[in-house]
Chain A
Amino acid sequence: NPYAGLVSCLRAAWLCGKTRPMEYRVAQLEALGRFLDEKKQEILEATSSDMGKPSFEAEFSEIILCKSELHETLNNLSRWMKDEHVDKNSVTRWDSAFIRKDPYGVVLIIAPWNYPVNLLLGPLIGAIAAGNCVIIKPSEMTKNTERLVAEALPSYLDKDCFAVVTAGVQETTRLLENKFDYIFFTGSPSVGRIIMTAAAKHLTPVTLELGGKNPCYVSDTCDVQNVARRVAWGRFFNAGQTCIAPDYVLCSLEMQEKLLLALSKTITDFYGSNPQKSHDFGRIAGEKHFQRLQELLCSGQVVIGGETDEAERYIAPTVLADVHPSDPIMQEEIFGPILPIVPVANMDEAIDFINSRERPLVVYAFSSNNKVVNQVLERTSSGGFCGNDTLMHVTLTSLPFGGVGSSGLGMYHGKFTFNTFSHHRGCLHRYMGRETINALRYPPYTQQKLGLVRAASEVKRKGACTLL
């Protein structure tokens, strides 16, 4: 077991209690902030080399959003760490009942390649804030970022308690043989299953941030140009390699026509007449994914884009029309800059379509009629929901971010990350006196005792429930 030594070192550090004091956690978090500030240029360069990430996108998604999470955490850490006192309705007033937030111990964070810094630091911030020791495994797909993290990050953090492990598939499998106290994984559902199966051997709790095909319903009543902008932005950001990108559009044939015109204009506004020359459009992260995406272009009709350049791993911002549910592009999460439009007769058909498939990470609905947006919300199920925009729900640190069904289990962001990496321990500190009250519960049991116990502890219904 090649990693047993590392894990047991971290576990020894954990048992010493080093990571528990708030001052320690704050110091480590502030160091992370310095990493983001001092290594900003290197991060922008690495993500640019790895996947042609435009500096605007990299700065926004990898630096600014991370710093938001960091500040939110530092601002609130002392409050989050405090014991939560609860209603003491079935204990005496001399007792103290509270929820203690305990760290789990040694946790493992496995990050994906599409937002290699954000999706690594996001969970890391919460894991440190919650007082854990952490093994960090950046994605091996984005080699420059992996190298940057492996070389630079350890010098900012306490090496006794935090380690970066670079590993491919084989090594990660070996890493997973070890016992961790929590595993946080971001990636595909098929690997998610492997991770959870490995975790089951040690009864390790997990958070799995997975994916799926995020549907985007566009109703006939809407401002088409605004819709086109918001959908295009969400679809083509990071060249489509975003777990919450709108994967496909559902709309009427009539709306499809209007959308195609609006999307064409938007794409030109965003990226110019030749997006390959734009500084604001990314590239595909690896050869395998490039090939995979190229093959999907045969679905439906290419109305906008469709150009590819293997040397640059460039795929133009592409829109496919008249896509059929059985087309190849509708069988897997696209994760690329291709937007299929699947025509449906009406909202009901769109909802049925969505519900006949696996629950996605997010459902999008666009309409100027709020009732339509609410109908789609109420009649579907997904990790999250965003009406009349794309991606933005994850920029709010007050909203939990996570999937449901095959799009994932668990959630994070803001205080939800802290909670994810904490064990909520129910604690009751009782008074040693007043033993006579306890006498009711001791044998020998009598009907009389029972009567008194029933009277004393029964929760009575407060009045009549108006719904009945």
Chain B
Amino acid sequence: MERMQQVVGRARAAFNSGRCRSLEFRLQQLKALEQMVQEKEKEILAAIKADLHKCGPNAYNHEILGVLGELALAMDKLPSWAAPQPVKKNLLTMRDEVYVCPEPLGVVLIIGAWNYPFVLVMQPLIGAIAAGNAVVVKPSEISENTAQLVADLLPQYLDRELYPVVTGGVPETTALLTQRFDHILYTGNSTVGKIVMAAAAKHLTPVTLELGGKSPCYIDKDCDLAVACRRITWGKYMNCGQTCIAPDYILCDPSIQSKVVENIKATLQEFYGEDVKSSPDYERIVNKRHFKRIVGLLEGQKIAHGGQTDEASCFIAPTILTDVSPESKVMEEEIFGPVLPILTVKSVDEAIEFINRREKPLALYVFSNDKKLIKRVISETSSGGVTANDVFMHALVPDLPFGGVGNSGMGAYHGKYSFETFSHHRACLIKDLKMEVVNKLRYPPGSQKKV
């Protein structure tokens, strides 16, 4: 507790010194981060491999490329993001200066997750630094190699007092959450999300919660099944299903269920070969606890493909379940693993109703050649984000806000939304001390004429 007080206290004193406010300073820190990512690429990929059994090209693609892109964007746009924005004036303020000024919030806390352990710490950090804040970084202890690496590297490249890294598990995070922050960005599950928000409420700290849920994937009869299934397979089994926006389950007409299975099977073969276990491109479940949890979901299910597991290496083969019942265990929680249940629905109406009966998901996917149907699914449901005719990709468009709604989260970030999330938008009106005659209308004594 005392240690946390010291760390946060030092960060606050450093923030109050004012040194992180100038654009030059922020750009310098972002440039240093860029240098770190470029110089330590090998170490970063090695840590991710140790944590998630993720191969080089895959890890580079998911974790490094995105970070470099965000850094380049932030460094490029920072002057325009940070500039005061003039707004429309009315008759009474015609001669005044009226604008919104983005300002840093102060000391912010970023709590990372284990599934994309580097990018989920770095991407928020980039926005927080760009917005001029001091940042306490708390990487997930479950991806311990990446956590340790981040703790070692950040102090080597960034201002040590302004951007401390705190490592540890539940007790350390709990202690950290008793401290006062000016914003908390948490990535993880809804249960802990509630704990974070309750802790934040004590200090009236605004929060951004990037949570999860069961992201549905509706496949219409009228669509190119081969393409749809290839895209779904890519998204579902990437990172061994441990992606917050992975298509969690499929909804489709019973008449195409077996075709869907066939297509996914064929794609799996293309991607990972005959023996998935020996493919360098297929990851592992992060730890035994999650392994056991996911294996438990298979109980009593009709396994149409896969189902092989190996506890020693936390390996679960890409698995497809068919004719899944909505009440089964696999449909109760976010799967976060390489298990894809298929549920049959007789129409898009039934699919929409099914989706709306459940908690709002982080992502929603719909595959169809029928533009009207897609429009309808989007309009009649709610979710954090949507990609139609593909998966994930909305999260990669820099100008789209990325976040959840309802149980899947609150707030958004990525690109300029990260900058806005970590800024206070201060309304400013600067008037003249002269021109008092205009004001006379509002002073008492009042009368109907004046009104």
Contact = CB atoms under 8 A, between A and B. Distances in A.
Interface string A86-102: 11111100000101101
B88 A381 contact: no
Contact of A404 (B90, B105, B394, B430): B105
B436 A399 contact: no
A78 interface: no
A54 B446 contact: yes
A430 B387 contact: yes
The interface residues of chain B, by DSSP majority, are classed as mixed
Contacts of B407: 203
Contact of A409 (B60, B204, B450): B204
Contacts of B281: 443-445
Interface string A443-462: 11111011001100111111
B406 interface: yes
B385 A462 contact: no
A357 to B, nearest CB: 14
B223 interface: yes
Nearest to A86: B399
Contacts of A55: 446
A102 B401 CA distance: 13
Contacts of B163: none
B397 A438 contact: no
A233 interface: yes
A425 B197 contact: no
A290 interface: no
B14 interface: no
Interface stretch (A246-254, A278-286, A300-308, A319-327): A278-286
A369 to B, nearest CB: 10
A86 B27 contact: no
B398 A210 contact: no
Nearest to B428: A385
Interface string B266-292: 000011110000011110000000000
Interface in A385-441: 385-389, 392-393, 395-396, 398-401, 404-406, 408-411, 423-432, 435, 438, 441
Contacts of A210: 204
Given A233-B442, A392-B92, A97 B431 contact: no
A230 interface: yes
B350 interface: no
Contact of A426 (B87, B224, B386, B406): B386
Contacts of A56: 444, 446-447, 450-451
Nearest to A460: B72
Contacts of A104: 405
A199 B234 CA distance: 37
Contacts of A66: none
Given A388-B431, A398-B89, A429 B424 contact: no
Interface string B9-28: 00000000000000110011
A203 B93 contact: no
A199 B197 contact: yes
A169 interface: no
24 contacts: A17-B380, A54-B446, A57-B446, A60-B442, A88-B397, A100-B386, A105-B406, A193-B201, A203-B193, A381-B426, A384-B426, A384-B428, A386-B431, A389-B431, A393-B98, A396-B89, A396-B429, A398-B87, A399-B87, A425-B386, A426-B385, A428-B387, A450-B57, A461-B72
Interface of B: 23-24, 27-28, 31, 55-58, 60-61, 65, 68-69, 72-73, 75-76, 79, 87-90, 92-93, 98, 100-101, 103, 105-106, 182, 190, 193-194, 197-198, 200-202, 204-206, 209, 211, 223-224, 227-228, 230-231, 234, 270-273, 279-282, 356, 367, 369, 374, 378-380, 382-390, 393-402, 405-407, 409-412, 424-434, 436, 439, 442-447, 450-451
Interface of A: 15, 17, 20, 54-57, 59-60, 64, 86-91, 97, 99-100, 102, 104-105, 181, 189, 192-193, 196-197, 199-201, 203, 205, 208, 210, 222-223, 226-227, 229-230, 233, 269-272, 278-281, 366-368, 370, 373-374, 377, 381-389, 392-393, 395-396, 398-401, 404-406, 408-411, 423-432, 435, 438, 441-447, 449-450, 453-454, 457-462, 465, 467-468
